[in-house]
Amino acid sequence: MIPRTYLVPPTLVVGLGIAACDAADRPARPNAVSSTKPTTRRARIMKINLKLPDTTLTATLSDTASANDFAAMLPLTLTLTDYHETEKVSDLPKKLTREGAPAGADPSVGDIAYYAPWGNLALFYEDFGYSDGLILLGKLDGGADALAAPGPLKVTIELQGVRP
């Protein structure tokens, strides 16, 4: 006869094995939330018009917190002044959020950006190097050379539409 103390461990092992298999075979609860389920978010396309004295430019804003914050200010009428024969700049009525923005950016011709340290909008008509605190908001669809006109430029920026 086998002593009882030798039967407990194998019984315990078999019982745990059955419980583990049972848990793996059970379907997930309908109300359970899976932490591995990917979230899909469609990017919004935000188009804007920039009405200059002699032409209207169009641009596409990025779907970022900073660009959305900027879009919420529109329409805006600003006076753009030249900065280093590279960009036209203007102060904004309020600072934009920096939520999720990188530390800086390397703008190119046609980029629309926000320079966080000064709180201003920058429209690039020439290529420029990396700048800390620069947040790209979007890109002109073309016509950046119109910004190279000498002297200040009055511009009205309006939201054209938002499409999914």
Fold held by 45-163 = Cyclophilin (2.40.100)
Confidence at residue 162, expressed as pLDDT on a 0 to 100 scale = 56
d(CA 39, CA 103): 26
Domain spans in the chain, listed from the N-terminal domain onward: 45-163
Confidence at residue 30, expressed as pLDDT on a 0 to 100 scale = 40
Check residue 86 and report its DSSP letter: T
pLDDT tens digits in sequence order for the chain, 164 residues long: 555 555 455 444 444 444 444 444 444 434 444 444 445 555 678 999 999 999 999 999 999 999 999 999 999 999 999 999 999 999 999 999 999 999 999 999 999 999 999 999 999 999 999 999 999 999 999 999 999 999 999 999 999 965 55
Q: Are 159 and 71 in contact (CB under 8 A)?
A: yes
Q: What is the pTM of this model?
A: 0.72
What are the φ/ψ torsions at residue 163 (nearest 5 degrees)? -125, 140
Confidence at residue 40, expressed as pLDDT on a 0 to 100 scale = 54
10 Å CB burial of residue 134 (0-12, 13-18, 19+) is: buried
Sign, CA dihedral 75-80-86-91, equals: negative
Confidence at residue 45, expressed as pLDDT on a 0 to 100 scale = 83
Check residue 145 and report its DSSP letter: G
Instruction: State the residue for tokens 């086998």.
Output: 2
